[in-house]
Structure 1
């Protein structure tokens, strides 16, 4: 084995003192170009607002329509409690199974996509490409395709949401794996463990809390997405809302929308508590968990370079910490840990998880036989989507795609304007009192619980069919996403500069603008780009309910069985999303 030559000590030239009047740190060319691109995006957003004719008069006229719409929805017409429970159970079953499917498929993809677990670079590139494609294809497009293959039902929603969720879950899983401490896998490899044993013993235990937290976060998202998919044939409470809105029964439709809001808030609170507990437990660090046990125990060797089995057996018998006992047992070859209180708790959680999955199958009404019976016609149904066709509407489709991008840009601008103050006041280190922070956190949670499609329907009724409804709905809905990200980013900044300014007598606003906001600006730019990416997909979905853009033509083409046109629209959306994805990646690298 070749030994690398020692590094040469190269004399470091003395730094020149800065010239008088010059800045010591000049921005790089990449940073300047990134700032210029952001200014171009801002100008494009302002142009989109003007082009869509969104102004004060729009909201003044909409206020009168809002009053009339409120009168048409009151009193609300809630279905019987048994029916509500059935719809909620079916929706939750579909969402849980879809999230489970995406989680199962994302784990091997993430292991192939992560640089420290992939067998080779082609495997990593292929896995990363699949993850990007899954993220770029909107779930509603997948649902339209699966409705043709499997028909209207719960299976369509599980497959559409499950496959699309791989784009988010797979990426976050891969990022989590790449940040794993290299000590435990290295120690296991030194003790003779195979690649799979290294992954099972040194990688997966370390990332399991993050894996569960990401899955729960995606569960929240899929619950809101399920309402959207109800408008293209996925059963559940979204399908019931679509039926009510189709016959202009706003009393029933809005009542069911409130049920969705309550359900989203409850699921968000439960999953948020679980995520906090899991990530809080994992924050103890590898020095106190099984990772440290594997590292310390596996590196104890005899003079011959082999693992001292007698010493390891002694460790298994004497170590009292259950996590270190598990580590010692893993290295020494024992596969059955003792039944401690921690193991009993884990077994209980496992049993609850299995019970929830079984109930999800029962509640959703999905049968594995349904999937197997539909497989023979899959190839024929997929063939209907090829070759791509334009139906003589290519110019119109390009125009509507531009409208969709304009809606996304205008909505992102509105979202930033609304989310920055709300998110700042929701941050505990910025809000004047903890009570104010809690109030704005609650506002963000309530807005986050309203699916964008419901907001789109409401604003279509208030402002009429068109792009204005889509832009305003997405702008308000952005508060639920961007407001939370802004609050979290501001709370995570280094408190040192804030305390320094406070010690010099700086006011609350001076501390915010001089220390807090600059420290969180880089993360805020990344969040805004993520919001733009999300809004392009959401703008496509809102077109389904008449909020403008190419989504209307997507739904119309699927309803009249012009699947070649559906493929063309899918390709156009995919290319647009990929361009935004590449732009966001380029900007993140420059900053």
Structure 2
């Protein structure tokens, strides 16, 4: 038998094209294992174990004895604090939306062809996310004084990092059909964006803003430690004077506000998207998909009728819109009063003292060591949080929970955990365990149940149900369907969420240091108190570098996983 003749060089390029993805996959696996190993090593190095918790049991009992009975402020004073806090949070979220929308259109690849504009806008968005809101608040308090405006500016600018990114992602995933049809009529570019793009992304814009509003409510507690008005400042005053009944009572008020905010957010999503807003696809991806289908359905319906009858859903949408506009106007009016008292006399002096960066007399090695401890706390907390949050998130998913009521119970548990600010958890653990990194790690670990657990639940709910149904048709058990169909589909998203949680924990670990939870945060607070703003700048640059490194690693891992799939 004749042996087929091989043309020289025909197989080699094919082998090379296959080798590159294989090498990338192996490298990504090695990096992932290295990150996991560093998390385990951090857990051991920080001496976090069950024995530590057992030894602190007596302190926990004593702390509960000092907290009870709770001491709530008088109703009038409490309502004033709640109104002030909500006004700051709403105004800050509105500011971030106004600034993020043009940035998102400039950063999206399908609405901006200029590469320089697109990359520049993306750089602004990433930079705002990497600079801690606490640092921005320290600067604005120094410039404008104590009060409302520093909180609005700090949270508003920092929120661009999240809102701008999600807005840009939503714009890039639109259906180009309506925009193309509008362009064919000779419409200008602005008309194309307003009529062809904005209606499709508006539902996801609203959902993202409501999610950020919830986050900013918890952040406002932290900013109270540097002089921003509201409930956070009162909690700080109470805890610094060891008035734990008042401090924990106010923390419970924040928890209740977060739960109410979550319920209102769900009601608004249902009013905008209909009853399907809470079924199957629960995340931003599902919102954008429903938005595209809604736009297409609305276009077809408009072709069939001229007038739209007033339905219950339409009335609910109009009612929520009216209520939302009124709340925003009241909040902006409340914040606007402080604008007239804002002198800004310290702007030039503060900016001059922010540069050049310096150590402020602290040895450089000491700052580097503190930064390394902060990274250790973040890795250890992410590892513990993942172990705790994964089963909670899976059981909160409607397509996996054995019973519908059980899924709702776990969802409510996640909401309750998310409502407790990590700062309050850190203070509680500092009292129970003592100053140091262990308190910060445990606080972030519990906090991760709220964020990571929710993201896991949404990712599990967003898998393709067809694969699950095909396995069930073969007689597969519930566990077999989960491990063979649900988990493999959700795993890439879960890994991406885990890296996002690590990013969040690095910044949160820095901020928790202000209450004695260890790491670089202690030096950040001390530098701001003695007005060593060069040290504040140096610590901010160190944190920026670490966050950007984690962001680049996460982007590379996601891109490698996407190429493999």
Question: TM-score, normalization: structure 2?
Answer: 0.89
Alignment equivalent of 1:77, drawn from 67, 71, 78: 71
Q: Which moved more, 1:397-406 or 1:422-431?
A: 422-431
2:353 matches 1:384? yes
Maintained 8 Å contact 2:393/2:456: yes
Q: 1:383 to 1:322 in 2, by over 3 A?
A: farther
1:501-540 to 2 correspondence within 5 Å? 501-540=471-510
Q: Which residue of 1 aligns with 2:280?
A: none
In the other structure, the counterpart of 1:444 is 414
Q: CA deviation at 1:277?
A: 3.8
Which residue is 1:180 aligned to? 174
Change (3 A) 1:245 1:275: same
Partner of residue 170, structure 1? 164
For the residues of structure 2 that align with 1:583 and 1:56, how far apart are their CA atoms? 32
Size of the aligned set, in residue pairs, is 533
- Cα separation, 1, equivalents of 2:329 and 2:495: 42
Matches within 5 A, 1:466-481: 466-481=436-451
Can you list the C-alpha shifts for 1:320-359, whole angstroms capped at 9, x where unaligned?
1558xxxxxxxxxxxxxx9999988766555433321232
1:146-165 matches, within 5 Å, as 146-165=140-159
Structure 1 residue 514 displacement after superposition: 2.6
Q: What is the match of residue 327 of structure 1?
A: none
Change (3 A) 1:589 1:396: same
Which of the residues 173, 189, 200 maps onto 2:183? 189
Contact in 1 for aligned 2:440/2:509 (Cα 8 Å): yes
User: Contact conserved, 1:154 with 1:365, CA < 8 A, in 2?
Assistant: no
Asked whether the 8 Å contact 1:184–1:291 carries over to 2, the reply is: no
- 2:225 maps to which residue? 231
2-structure distance, mates of 1:235, 1:143: 11
Report SS of the residue matched to 2:100.
helix
Identify the residue that residue 267 of structure 2 maps to in structure 1.
273
Pair 1:86 & 2:86 matched: no
Instruction: Return the match for 2:376 from 398, 406, 415.
Output: 406
CA distance in 1, matches of 2:186, 2:470: 52
Give the alignment partner of residue 28 of structure 1, picking from 19, 22, 25.
22
Q: Which residue of the partner structure matches residue 289 of structure 1? A: 295
Once residues 511 and 184 of structure 2 are traced to their aligned partners in structure 1, the CA distance between those partners, rounded to angstroms, is 52
**Displacement, 1:361?**
3.5
- 2:41 is aligned to 47
Gaps of at least 5 residues in structure 2 are 1-9, 12-17, 278-286
TM-score, structure 1 as length reference: 0.85
Q: Does structure 2 conserve the Cα–Cα contact (< 8 Å) formed by 1:94 and 1:158?
A: yes
SS in 2 for 1:428: coil
> Structure 1 residue 193: deviation in Å?
1.2
Query: Post-superposition shift, 1:557?
Result: 0.4
1:272 Cα deviation from its structure 2 partner: 2.4
Q: Please state if 1:361 is matched with 2:332.
A: yes
Kept after mapping to 2: 8 A contact 1:448/1:479: yes
Q: Describe the shift of the 1:412–1:320 C-alpha distance in structure 2 as closer, same or farther (beyond 3 A).
A: same
- Distance in 2 (CA, whole Å) between partners of 1:153 and 1:528 is 36
Residue aligning to 2:211 = 217
Query: Per-residue deviation at 1:438?
Result: 1.4
SS at match of 2:341: helix
In 2, Cα distance between the equivalents of 1:549 and 1:411?
Answer: 13
State the shift of 1:523 in Å. 0.9
Deviations 1:172-211 (A, max 9, x none): 1111111122122222222221111111111112111111
Larger-Rg structure: 1
Contact (CA 8 Å) 1:155, 1:366: kept in 2 or not? no
Pick closer, same or farther for the CA change 1:133–1:68 going to 2, 3 Å: same
Tell me how far apart the structure 2 counterparts of residues 136 and 149 of structure 1 sit (CA, whole Å).
21
